[in-house]
């Protein structure tokens, strides 16, 4: 690891400018900032916070990186609030604080993570919204910062991860629908590069194939992970060729819009169309009752925090048994919708 002086020498820029670039001050031009951040990453520079270095693990802060932005409104909400609650329960035992590192949807998450690392912000990081390929894993790994991912990625570097068991959800939902006689089953998954969409679609393919059925590409619907996205899903579902008779919805926020879209078309979940989805606190206000999968999110937060701390020397002794990788169960709740 290099200090700020070596970084400045290498770049032939003054220490003051390097410091301002690292600290996000406005009076540095973009090209200089880019060069500084690149070099900082290359040389593993980590900000020295009054002697508290990230590597020594002494900021007292655990960062939870999440995406923000208007098109994901509806998502960032109850899911994260419940997980945070569990994470904080564990961190409180060690006088650690949780902060949410908010990456705007208009910003590249990889660049954001490089800045977080350069700023020397947290003792450990929890990543969410993991993508199929995700450079944040490599950035954290190279910098030697303890982290855990809530979700998997092809960019896995052997770090601990916890992920909801979307494979299990796919299997159970497909088996159930096939047993009820459905042959044309559609799925709804988030648009974009979020890894869970791939995991889920792949397993639905496989589960249908086991029954000698195929997942029609025209029956794989992508949407924004919010209420309006679900409403559009319903309209696309209704207009689809070779009309499917059942829908498995991956995202919990889409359910309410999907119900509404069906209702407007005179279709009732569980009667003309089978619907299986993911639980959210809103589900209890839907009629007919949704058949769905419910993960224990607060407990997930507890487990994720313990797993992360088990990889950090200062806390590892307290968690000798914490699993490092885990597919987190989704409990099946029988409803009337499918």
- Window 221 to 260, contacts with its own copies (CB under 8 A): 226-228, 231, 256-257, 259-260
The verdict on 26 binding its own copies (CB under 8 A) reads yes
11, 35, 55, 69: residue in contact with its own copies (rule CB under 8 A): 69
Tokens of 93: 């035992």
Give the β-pairing of 185-190 and 246-249.
parallel
What whole-number distance in Å separates Cα of residue 149 and Cα of residue 235? 34
Stretch touching its own copies by CB under 8 A, among 99-107, 140-148, 153-161, 189-197: 99-107
Contacting residue, 11, 13, 100, 296, with its own copies by CB under 8 A: 100
- Residue 58 interacting with its own copies (CB under 8 A): yes
49 forms part of the interface with its own copies (CB under 8 A): yes
**Nearest approach, Cβ of residue 68 and its own copies (Å):** 5
Q: Rounded to whole angstroms, what are the CA distances from 23 to 48, 66, 106, 139?
A: 12, 21, 20, 18
For 179, other C-beta atoms within 10 Å of its C-beta total: 9
Q: Which residue of 88, 149, 291, 310 would you call a contact of its own copies, by CB under 8 A?
A: 88
The 3-class SS string of 23-37 reads CCCCCCCHHHHHHHH
CA angle, corner 85, sides to 58 and 57, nearest 5? 10
How many alpha carbons lie under 13 Å from residue 304 in its C-beta half-sphere?
A: 34
Does the CA dihedral 93-96-102-108 come out positive or negative?
Answer: negative
- The residue range among 92-100, 158-166, 241-249, 269-277 that interacts with its own copies, by the rule CB under 8 A, is 92-100
Candidate list 114, 115, 152, 232; residue touching its own copies; CB under 8 A: 115
Rounded CA gap, 16 and 1, in Å? 19
Residues within the interface to its own copies (CB under 8 A) = 19, 23-26, 28, 33, 47-52, 58-61, 63, 68-70, 72-74, 76-78, 81-82, 84-85, 88-89, 92-102, 104, 106-107, 115-116, 119-121, 226-228, 231, 256-257, 259-260, 263, 281-282, 284-285, 287, 298, 314-315
């Amino acid at each position: 690891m290099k200090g700020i002086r070596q970084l400045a020498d290498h770049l032939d820029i003054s220490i003051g400018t390097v410091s301002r670039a690292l600290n996000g001050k406005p009076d540095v031009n973009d090209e200089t900032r880019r060069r500084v951040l690149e070099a900082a990453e290359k040389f593993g520079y980590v900000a020295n916070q009054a002697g508290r270095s990230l590597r020594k693990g002494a900021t007292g802060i655990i960062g939870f990186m999440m995406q923000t932005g208007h098109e994901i409104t509806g998502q960032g909400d109850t899911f994260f609030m419940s997980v945070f609650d569990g994470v904080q329960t564990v961190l409180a035992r060690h006088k650690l604080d949780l902060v949410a590192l908010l990456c705007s949807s208009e910003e590249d998450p990889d660049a954001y993570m490089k800045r977080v690392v350069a700023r020397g912000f947290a003792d450990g990081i929890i990543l969410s919204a993991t993508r199929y390929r995700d450079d944040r894993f490599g950035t954290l790994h190279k910098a030697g910062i303890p982290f855990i991912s809530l979700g998997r990625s092809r960019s896995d570097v052997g770090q601990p991860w916890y992920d909801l068991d979307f494979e299990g959800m796919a299997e159970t939902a497909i088996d159930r629908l096939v047993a009820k006689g459905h042959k044309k089953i559609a799925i709804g998954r988030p648009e974009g590069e979020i890894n869970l969409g791939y995991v889920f679609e792949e397993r639905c393919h496989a589960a249908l194939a086991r029954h000698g059925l195929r997942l029609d590409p025209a029956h794989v619907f992508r949407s924004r992970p919010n209420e309006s996205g679900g409403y559009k899903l319903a309209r696309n579902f209704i207009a689809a060729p070779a009309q499917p008779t059942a829908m498995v919805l991956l995202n919990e926020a889409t359910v309410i819009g999907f119900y509404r879209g069906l209702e407007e078309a005179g279709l009732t979940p569980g009667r003309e169309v089978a619907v299986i989805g993911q639980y959210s606190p809103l589900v209890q206000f839907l009629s007919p009752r949704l058949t769905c999968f419910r993960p224990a999110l607060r407990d997930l937060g507890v487990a994720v925090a313990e797993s992360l701390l088990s990889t950090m020397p200062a806390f590892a002794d307290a968690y000798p048994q914490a699993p490092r990788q885990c597919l987190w169960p989704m409990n099946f709740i029988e409803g009337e919708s499918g």
